[in-house]
Amino acid sequence: MHTGDLFDALPRGLRGRVDVLVANAPYVPRGEVALMPPEARDHEPLLALDGGGDGLDVHRRVAAGAREWLSPGGVLLVETSARQAEGTAEACRAGGLAPSTVHDRALGAAVVVALA
């Protein structure tokens, strides 16, 4: 088992060799955590829910570091909300990736798919 903060937990030998990187990072804006259903906010650690002021702090960190870990043609998948998908996609563009977004309107969910 490897533990650490984001990419710090990965063995260095994987740099540039990861084909698929999946991030289920927190994306709830800090001011909205208290509005979440009790089954989430009362039983999940705050660290797993609080995505910072706009909810995208961790997404920006993941997107900024992903390219160095992804293989050529590798892909980063980031769960986000429909309303935050463009912000997550912009973070991926800023990290040198080519993002697109897949929406599930029934669930109000989105995944940003970003190619290296």
Binning pLDDT at 50, 70 and 90, where does residue 105 land?
confident
Question: How far is 28 from 55, CA to CA, in rounded Å?
Answer: 5
3 in Cβ contact with 9 (< 8 Å): yes
Residue ranges in the chain assigned as alpha helix (H)? 38-41, 46-49, 57-69, 85-94
Q: pLDDT by residue (tens digit) across 11-70?
A: 999 999 999 999 999 999 999 999 999 998 899 999 999 999 999 999 999 999 999 999
15, amino acid identity:
R
3-state helix, strand, coil in the chain (%, to 5): 40, 30, 30
Domains annotated for the chain, with CATH where assigned, are 6-115 (3.40.50.150)
Q: Would the pTM of this model clear 0.75, i.e. be above it?
A: yes
83 Cβ contact partners less than 8 Å away, ≥ 6 residues apart: none
